[in-house]
């Protein structure tokens, strides 16, 4: 366990000599907005270390320098949350990276396969996950916790080598690179508070409702960040929805809402919500946000979607790629309704070659599906 800056610098210098390193983190975020980093695990082909970021006086600068070293490939499993921590603590995004969960999807291991499932299938090793949800902030950590944490990066070395080799054999390395570009994009982790409303899935009918939703969601985002508490501790999603619909102009009206706790309307937060509502409703008509119309799908689109689902399953099984990484249900709906004009990932890059072109041919009547020899196959029309 590394507990000093000097030891961390020495370890990172040694790790930087490798072509790739595997990385994982343990953290808590049940009561905070930003994840509380509790442990860092790293391994190279010849070395493995645990770093205690809670050790008194330790400076993580050598770790962040290693994350910024473009000569070293950083390997994660389900990288998004680990990278979010690195971004928030070090103001950088590791590059280049390799996410074994995404690679496994491209290689046909299924949708969002877990780390222990992947280790079991590739290495035939069972990982004890009983320490996964333990309190990683308490010291000292138990031997069982340390063994579990280390296993998250030691087995990952072999998983990476196996998946990387398969990608090379099957000519799919460029497919993965497209996915990593998204994970390495700053906007993936640096959402502006004014865009926080996009996390909410409520369907609104009026521009005024959407304006209130945007203003209140932005206030909640700033408040949660400033206080370092989860968004729901500031104001729950259901309350934002009700505020957007009812648009309370004063504290009395706010207090009448079903989702607002008794007395909360008289708090500083309640006052801020009322101010956000009034600011949103004061927008000139020309500046009110546009509510996208829910267009009715053309006749036959529903049936086309069902055919596209069959085609997606057929292609994913044929090429050994998880359906989820090729196209989702929203993609299929848009392709069925808009055809070539659909702005979806399934009609770009390697996905278009694999699935997008056949999908367009299917809805244009150029190919069909038939059941023959106990299997579904495409047939030219």
pLDDT tens sequence across 57-85: 999 999 999 999 999 999 999 999 999 99
Instruction: Quote the distance between the C-alpha of residue 172 and its chain's center.
Output: 22
Q: Can you give the pLDDT at residue 366?
A: 96
179/251 Cα distance (integer angstroms): 47
Note the pLDDT tens digit of each residue in 124-180.
999 888 888 899 999 999 999 999 999 999 999 999 999 999 999 999 999 999 889
Tokens standing for 114?
């877990």
Q: Can you give the pLDDT at residue 296?
A: 64
Residue with tokens 């970021």: 53
CATH of 3-186, one of 3.30.70.260, 1.10.3720.10, 3.40.50.300, 3.30.420.10: 3.30.420.10
Q: Can you give the pLDDT at residue 110?
A: 87
Q: Can you give the pLDDT at residue 292?
A: 74
Note the pLDDT tens digit of each residue in 279-316.
999 999 999 998 876 666 677 788 999 999 999 999 99
188/257 Cα distance (integer angstroms): 34
Contacts within 8 Å (CB) and 24+ apart, 171-174: 172/106, 172/107, 172/350, 174/350
Q: What is the mean pLDDT of the chain?
A: 94
Q: Can you give the pLDDT at residue 270?
A: 97
180/73 Cα distance (integer angstroms): 12
Q: Can you give the pLDDT at residue 179?
A: 87
Q: Which fold has domain 191-280?
A: DNA polymerase; domain 1 (1.10.150)
pTM recorded for the entire structure: 0.87
Q: Which fold has domain 299-378?
A: DNA polymerase; domain 1 (1.10.150)
* Vertex 212: Cα angle to 207 and 214 (nearest 5): 95
Q: Can you give the pLDDT at residue 21?
A: 98
Q: Can you give the pLDDT at residue 203?
A: 78
Judge residue 169's burial from the number of C-beta atoms within 10 Å of its C-beta, 0-12 exposed, 13-18 middle, 19 or more buried: exposed
Nearest to 325, CA basis, from 354, 302, 368, 367: 354
Does residue 116 carry a pLDDT above 80?
A: yes
State the span(s) of the chain assigned CATH 3.30.420.10.
Answer: 3-186
Q: Which of 95-109, 226-240, 246-260, 294-308 has the lowest mean pLDDT?
A: 294-308
Q: Can you give the pLDDT at residue 58?
A: 98
Q: Can you give the pLDDT at residue 202?
A: 77
The more confident residue out of 225 and 111 is: 225
Q: Can you give the pLDDT at residue 297?
A: 63
Q: Which of 298-307, 309-318, 335-344, 370-379 has the lowest mean pLDDT?
A: 298-307
Q: Can you give the pLDDT at residue 219?
A: 98
Tokens standing for 285?
């008509």
Nearest to 291, CA basis, from 363, 344, 367, 212: 212
- In angstroms, the Cα distances linking 9 to 39, 51, 249, 287 are 16, 11, 56, 53
Does residue 343 carry a pLDDT above 70?
A: yes
Tokens standing for 142?
């138990």
Q: Which residues lie below 8 Å from residue 79, measured CB to CB, with a gap of 6+?
A: 97, 99, 101, 183
State the span(s) of the chain assigned CATH 1.10.150.80.
Answer: 191-280
Helix axes 268-281, 207-227, angle to 10 degrees: 150
Residue 221 β-bridge partners: none
Does residue 87 carry a pLDDT above 70?
A: yes
């Amino acid at each position: 366990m590394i507990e000093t800056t000097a030891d961390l610098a020495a370890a990172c210098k040694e790790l930087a000599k490798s072509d790739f390193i595997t990385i994982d983190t343990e953290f808590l975020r049940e009561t905070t907005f930003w994840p509380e980093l509790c442990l860092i695990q790293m391994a190279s082909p010849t070395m493995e270390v645990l770093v205690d970021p809670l050790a008194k006086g330790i400076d993580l600068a050598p770790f962040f320098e290693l994350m910024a070293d473009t000569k070293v490939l950083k390997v994660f499993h389900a990288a998004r949350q680990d990278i979010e921590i690195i971004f928030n603590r070090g103001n950088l995004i590791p590059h280049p990276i390799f996410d074994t969960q995404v690679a496994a999807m491209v290689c046909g291991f299924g949708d969002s396969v877990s780390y222990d499932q992947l280790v079991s299938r590739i290495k035939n090793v069972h990982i004890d996950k009983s320490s996964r949800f333990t309190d990683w902030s308490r010291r000292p950590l138990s031997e069982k916790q340390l063994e579990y944490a280390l296993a998250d990066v030691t087995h990952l070395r072999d998983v990476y080598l196996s998946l990387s080799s398969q990608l090379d054999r099957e000519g799919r390395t460029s497919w993965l690179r497209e996915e990593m570009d998204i994970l390495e994009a700053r906007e993936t982790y640096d959402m502006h508070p004014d865009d926080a409303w996009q996390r909410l899935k409520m369907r609104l009918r009026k521009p005024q409702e959407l304006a209130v939703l945007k203003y209140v969601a932005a206030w909640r985002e700033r408040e949660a960040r400033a206080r370092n508490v989860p968004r729901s501790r500031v104001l729950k999603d259901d309350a934002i929805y009700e505020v957007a619909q009812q648009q309370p102009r004063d504290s009395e009206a706010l207090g009448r809402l079903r989702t607002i706790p008794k007395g909360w309307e008289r708090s500083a937060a309640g006052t801020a919500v009322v101010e956000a509502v009034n600011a949103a409703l004061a927008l000139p008509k020309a500046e009110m946000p546009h509510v996208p119309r829910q267009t009715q799908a053309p006749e036959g689109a529903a049936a086309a979607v069902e055919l596209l689902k069959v085609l997606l399953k057929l292609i994913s099984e044929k090429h050994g790629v998880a359906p989820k990484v090729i196209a989702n249900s929203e993609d299929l709906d848009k392709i069925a309704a808009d055809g070539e004009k659909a702005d979806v990932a399934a009609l770009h890059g390697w996905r278009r070659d694999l699935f997008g072109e056949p999908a367009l041919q299917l809805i244009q009547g150029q190919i069909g599906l038939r059941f023959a020899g106990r299997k579904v196959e495409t047939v030219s029309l």
